[in-house]
A and B are shown apart, each in its own frame.
Chain A
Amino acid sequence: MRLFANANYDFLGRRKVSLTLSGVVLAALLVVSIFWQFSRGSWLNYNVDFTGGTLVQIHFDQPTSVGELRDVVGSAVPGTEITRFGAENEYLFRAPAFSEEGTAVSDQIVQVLGQRYAADAFEVVRTEAVGPKVGGELQQKAIIAIVLSLLATLVYLALRFEWRFGVAAVGATAHDMLLALLLVSALRLDVSLTTVAALLTIIGYSLNDKIIVFDRIRENIKGAGRKQENIEIFNRSINETLPRTVLTSGTTVATLLALAIVGTGAIQEFALILIAGIVIGTYSSIFVASPILYYIERRWPRGEKKATAKRPRHVTA
């Protein structure tokens, strides 16, 4: 069995369409994000990891309702946000504060519930309480990690390949990350440490994908005759790597789908973000990264080629 054997699609020919599509999707998601920024105060739905505060997940034995729980907890711990979560009879309590007057807010919530319900009628599934100082630090570290990994890869690629490839690969990867981030924003997915890990994985995967295609382009440029147009070389390279691109993305998405279907809570979100990221990354290797490289090559042609072009031809009478 062979997929895309001898494929010969004109990917680069549609570069204007694909780049416009990317631009439109980015713009649309950006509008949604800006809308969230103004309507909810933040374009990203940061969880306690970054904002600081308290999260308590509680499983009740008996059915209850958000309204009932609000009556119980609302007055004791003001500002608590209560939502249903995952499994049946499971609820999330979120409070902006980490501790009040020396007592942890999570303890206060559990205590108030203990006064209303029997102690064995509910179980604390998990609590996360992050002090404001730690939250700020985590946010800062996450940003540093993302920027540094992009920079480090840029340096590596510049050394290993040359700057044109490095800039195109990192530019396209930044596009992928921005798209994934805006998607997380638009869908109001929880932004936690796990989300950051997912975004960083997308960076790794997306770069990986671009390197494979670029590696083939580099090889084909080297082996190509002088007459061959860049557009031809690029198209051929993408088509040659197409079976690998589809197969690898396919198997990875398949394993992640298993995780998304079977997994629960944070893991499920993690898998979904990764799936979106891999689809975006695969798309952009072909339709974004290669056109960017193409434009860079056209604007700043290679030295020897430029020299070739400028070499005066023998005029034959």
Chain B
Amino acid sequence: MFGSLKGRILIIVLVLAGAVGFYLKNGVKQGLDLQGGMHLALEVDDPTGTMTPEARADATDRALKIIRTRIDQFGVAEPLIQKYGSDRIIVELPGIRDEQRAKDIIQQTAFLEFRLVNSSRDFVEALPRIDRAIVQALGPDAVSRKDDSQSRQAFEELLFRRNADSAGTAADSAANSPESTTESRPLTSLLLDAGVDGEFLVELGDVETVKRYLELPEVQRLIPRGVALRFGASNEGVGTDLYRRLYVLEAKPFMTGEMLVNAVADRDPQFNRPIVNFELNRRGGRIFEDVTGKNIGNRIAIILDNEVYSAPVVNSRIGSRGQIELGQASLNEANDLALVLRAGSLPAPLKIIEERTIGPSLGADSIHSGLLAGAIGVALVVLIMISYYKLSGFLAVVGLAYYVVLLIGGLSAFNATLTAPGIAGLILSIGMAIDANVLIFERIREELALGRSVRIAVDEGFKNAMSAIVDSNLTTLITGMILFQFGTGPVRGFAVTLSIGILASFFSAVYVTRTLFLLYLQRKRAPEALSI
């Protein structure tokens, strides 16, 4: 008996030391709802639904790595970036203030590529066939534009050198006549001369229409082999006359951002506008040198995420360095672009499917009210237990204090995150932790009422209450496990506290309190009365 009591105390002290040790080592992580921050769920964007599950999973894995690198470089304390399921990424950024910027950094695909501008006439010669295909695919009604104004048509004719033959018809008959500009030449009529081969201007209002035409499968088939079309990144022109540039490029990039080793934001000395200077690795440098050497006088388009940022004319052989002009962007944006370029490009665009942000004041509020409620709750429990069960109640309260330490240690050991519902679960579990003791004490009282001696009554009380305690704890644990398995976010946090709470309460209410009783009874040879 004495030996086993010593053993019990040793186990209790060891478990306590373990709990304190885990707490000191890991601490209890606070959830986003307590410290403020942003929670994002992202998925590979696959609007056409053509990716296989394997491809999605693979893209997700690679995106996860890239996002991790980007967030590391962005500098967020204790971010959480993890996979959820096979094709979803969860990003949690505690304490983030500029949410939009963080979202941009995570979401930007940052796929950098270099292509030569195709200044042959292949595309221009294919235009009449493409026009016919559009009319055939969409029908004459879909491509006619009722809002065409005369001035627009005149402007087109003025700028567009080719195919000026049939454009001379009167504007008012344009909408109905099959010979009209927009109906018979839906695409060509929207492409304005940019003054250089391989580039067109498109009115800003027509950009979406042109994109729609170009995406038609019938049109895709007619675009000459080796040619790709890309829009510029920024608007050109002044006032209300804004245009986007459409570039005719080589279909195959001669180099991609994979060969990039460094990128730094800067301002260009001439216009003081933000730029990103990049540096290529040796292989990339050789390719760049080779291509520029052979193409002096031609243009090289620098394309980021399918938009052309610039297409400078090659004046001389260029080595391993280059720059991206960002036009009207801020220096912050240039910095962020440099960051994402360094981290590498995402294998596919990501879309946000869930977004939650919590301001810091709300979190502080939750902690404050949670602690206060916890303190009041504990005080009430102590008061009720001691006034109802006297000394035995006091022993239960000591067991409860042990339980709280154990719970905190358990949360640290499992690296569980404490959330606001978690605090609620914790407070609830304090109320429930006391249930085991109440069950035991009521049994002891019953045994005493039957005239049993104190020692036997205590033994029997613990023994008889055990089946009910085990059953109730196990069923609650089952609920906790299922919650954990199927829950997300706050529910999961609650399930973790609940499950750890049940294990901790079982140990402290049954084992620790029992030991305290043994310790108390052992002091007297034959105790006559129990304070219960």
Contact = CB atoms under 8 A, between A and B. Distances in A.
Contact of A125 (B100, B359, B498): B359
Contact of A145 (B373, B425, B472, B482): B482
A254 B382 CA distance: 11
Interface in A201-230: 201, 203-205, 207-208, 211-212, 215-216
B101 to A, nearest CB: 12
Contacts of A197: 421, 425, 483, 487, 490-491, 494-495
The bracket for how many chain B residues form the interface is 35 or more
Q: Could you say which of B361, B369, B385 has the most chain A C-beta atoms within 10 Å of its C-beta? A: B369
B373 A149 contact: no
B31 to A, nearest CB: 12
B159 interface: no
A194 B468 contact: no
B200 to A, nearest CB: 25
A217 B366 CA distance: 43
Contact of B478 (A134, A153, A262): A153
A283 to B, nearest CB: 17
Given A149-B479, A267-B424, A252 B490 contact: no
B388 interface: yes
B369 A204 contact: no
A264 B365 contact: yes
Interface in A151-199: 152-153, 156-157, 160, 193-194, 196-197
Given A211-B471, A215-B468, A259 B424 contact: yes
B489 A258 contact: no
A12 interface: no
Contact of B353 (A134, A148, A193): A134
A149 B482 contact: yes
Nearest to A260: B373
A88 interface: no
B488 interface: yes
Nearest to B431: A252
B380 A254 contact: yes
Contacts of A127: 355-357
Contacts of A251: 380-381, 384-385, 431, 434, 438
B249 interface: no
B498 A201 contact: yes
B278 to A, nearest CB: 28
Contact of B428 (A141, A212, A274): A274
Nearest to A255: B377
Contacts of B424: 259, 263, 267, 270-271, 274
Interface string A255-297: 1101101111011001100100000000000000000000000
Interface string B345-389: 000000011111111011001100110111011101100110110
A131 interface: yes
A125 B366 CA distance: 12
B430 interface: yes
A145 B372 CA distance: 31
A131 B353 contact: yes
Given A1-B388, A215-B471, A264-B369, A259 B427 contact: yes
A142 B445 CA distance: 42
Contacts of B356: 126-129
Interface string B214-233: 00000000000000000000
Nearest to B430: A255
Contacts of A203: 479
A128 to B, nearest CB: 5
Contact of B373 (A107, A160, A212, A259): A259
Contact of B361 (A125, A240, A243, A244): A125
A96 to B, nearest CB: 16
Interface in B213-259: none
Given A131-B353, A243-B442, A247-B384, A123 B359 contact: yes
A265 to B, nearest CB: 8
A123 B359 CA distance: 8
B420 interface: yes
B136 interface: no
Contacts of B468: 211-212, 215-216
Contacts of B100: 107
A181 B487 CA distance: 18
A144 to B, nearest CB: 6
Given A251-B431, A252-B435, 18 more contacts: A2-B445, A104-B355, A126-B358, A130-B354, A131-B352, A142-B486, A157-B471, A193-B489, A194-B494, A208-B432, A208-B472, A248-B432, A251-B438, A254-B431, A255-B431, A258-B373, A259-B424, A266-B421
Which 8 residue pairs of A and B lie closest in terms of their CB atoms, listed nearest first?
A: A255-B377, A252-B431, A258-B376, A131-B353, A145-B486, A208-B472, A204-B479, A259-B373
Interface of B: 41, 100, 352-359, 361-362, 365-366, 369-370, 372-374, 376-378, 380-381, 384-385, 387-388, 420-421, 423-425, 427-428, 430-432, 434-435, 438-439, 442, 445-446, 467-468, 471-472, 474-476, 478-480, 482-483, 485-491, 494-495, 498
7 contacts: A129-B356, A130-B355, A141-B487, A156-B478, A205-B476, A255-B380, A261-B373
